[in-house]
Structure 1
Amino acid sequence: MSKGEGKRNNKKCLAYVAAFVVFQTAIITVFALTVMKIKSPKVRFGSVSVDNFSTGNTNSPSLSMRLVTQFAVKNTNFGHFKYDNSTVTILYGGSPVGEAFIPRGRAKARQTRRFNVTVDISFAQLSGNPHLTNDINSGFLTLTSQARLSGKVQLMKVIKKNKSGNMRGIIDIACRLHI
């Protein structure tokens, strides 16, 4: 073997190593930009049903009801999302009329966790509100829901990042009252 052949083999080896390093850098970059990108989970209400609907009398129109809904936490990350205890608040005209407890839990990677939430709603503190009386008489009641789930997304048991899922929604209830 001549000295010129050894130099050519060294150059070939160096070219292969450089190509391998470039290839690995490209793979790591794609992995970091797709899989390792941590997003906030999506928090939503599913269908809502009204139970135990009751009204007051004509002199003091008031309402109470129980909303039963499916609550969904959609985790689009490649790691699980562990969230802390939280609450769902139902508002009427900016005033809270009901609240439900959401126990801490975990949404697995790239999955949606669904569970039922029951919210007892009472309009007793708003019985003198003229907007409430008008809405009751019109047959439509508009409520706003809000919740915030705070927790951590954990990727590969190494990377942990604080994230929170927020929900704000409108619930329209059609009610025909015979007072």
Structure 2
Amino acid sequence: MAEKDQQAYASTNGYTRSNDHESAGTTFQSEEELKRQKRRKLFMYIGIFIVFQIIVMTVFGLTVMKVKTPKLRLGNIEVQNLNFTSQTSPSFDMTFTTQIRVKNTNFGPYKYDSSYVTFLYQEMPLVQVTIPKGKAGWRSTEKIGATAILNSKALPSVSNLGSDLDSGVLKLSSQAKISGKVELMFVMKKKKSAEMNCTIEVNLATKGVQALECK
């Protein structure tokens, strides 16, 4: 009887040990699989992060770090005084106020040197207005008030001024160029020049500007 009990105990104990070994092996395999899954996720996250950084740097380089040429334009022109005659000695004199606008669309200030705007009649200079040295802040427009006093005294007598005055419209033009530097991230500086060419049509009957186009 005792011999049977020992055999039964040995049989049961052996089965238990076998189960313990199988359970331990299964647990070890599960831990290894979890580690592999964690490593795969880590590599995947690193890859996503690298791709995201490349996209951010590309967008940053194409937008923020790309230096654009500032624009130089005239604002509205308000005629203060206008006198003219188209008779024997055609002539005119005019005073007007306007704004000289420096538009900077960069992500950094644009510092420019002093210059001037030249107002002309049929490519002949009439007067120059000074553009003082200044700065247009990042993504902003610097507005400079200006007053111009024009007269036809300097024009040659062979000009077509008489016929133009008889037409009722006095056509003028303006030209300007400023030079300066755009500063990005307080480190990088890029030289940029802005130019302006405008055509101005003054209605002599209303004594006002009927058309202003700049490019």
TM, length-normalised to structure 2: 0.73
| Larger of the two Rg values belongs to structure | 2
Asked if residue 98 in structure 1 is aligned to residue 127 in structure 2, the reply is yes
Q: Which residue of 2 aligns with 1:137?
A: 166
* Separation (CA, whole Å) in 2 of partners of 1:166 and 1:6: 66
Q: Map 1:59-138 onto structure 2 (within 5 A).
A: 59-138=88-167
Unaligned runs of 5+ in 2: 1-27, 206-215
Deviation of 1:57 after TM superposition, in Å, equals 8.3
8 Å CA contact 2:86, 2:166 repeated in 1: no
Aligned amino acid, residue 132 of structure 1: L
Q: Which residue of 2 aligns with 1:169?
A: 198
Q: SS at the partner of 1:19?
A: helix
- Cα deviation digits, residues 4-55 of structure 1 (max 9, x gap): 5697355544443333222111111111111111111122111112233334
Deviation of 1:168 after TM superposition, in Å, equals 0.9
Q: Which residue of 2 aligns with 1:37?
A: 66
- Cα deviation digits, residues 117-162 of structure 1 (max 9, x gap): 1122121121513411111122211001111121111111011111
- Cα deviation digits, residues 41-84 of structure 1 (max 9, x gap): 12211111223333468432222222211221111111111111
8 Å CA contact 1:145, 1:169 repeated in 2: yes
* Separation (CA, whole Å) in 1 of partners of 2:33 and 2:110: 57
8 Å CA contact 2:81, 2:95 repeated in 1: yes
Higher deviation after alignment, 19-28 or 47-56: 47-56
Q: SS at the partner of 2:52?
A: helix
Asked if residue 28 in structure 1 is aligned to residue 61 in structure 2, the reply is no
Higher deviation after alignment, 7-16 or 118-127: 7-16
RMSD of aligned Cα (Å): 2.3
Aligned amino acid, residue 167 of structure 2: S
- Cα deviation digits, residues 92-123 of structure 1 (max 9, x gap): 11111111000011111111111211122121
Unaligned runs of 5+ in 1: none
Per residue, is there more strand in 1 or in 2? 1
Alignment CA distance shift 1:94-1:55 (3 Å): same
* Separation (CA, whole Å) in 1 of partners of 2:169 and 2:46: 71
* Separation (CA, whole Å) in 1 of partners of 2:200 and 2:135: 26
Q: SS at the partner of 1:134?
A: helix
Figure out how many residues of one structure are paired with residues of the other and give that number: 176
Q: Paired residue for 1:155, among 161, 184, 203?
A: 184
Higher deviation after alignment, 118-127 or 14-23: 14-23
Alignment CA distance shift 1:24-1:101 (3 Å): same
Q: Percent of counterpart pairs with the same letter?
A: 43
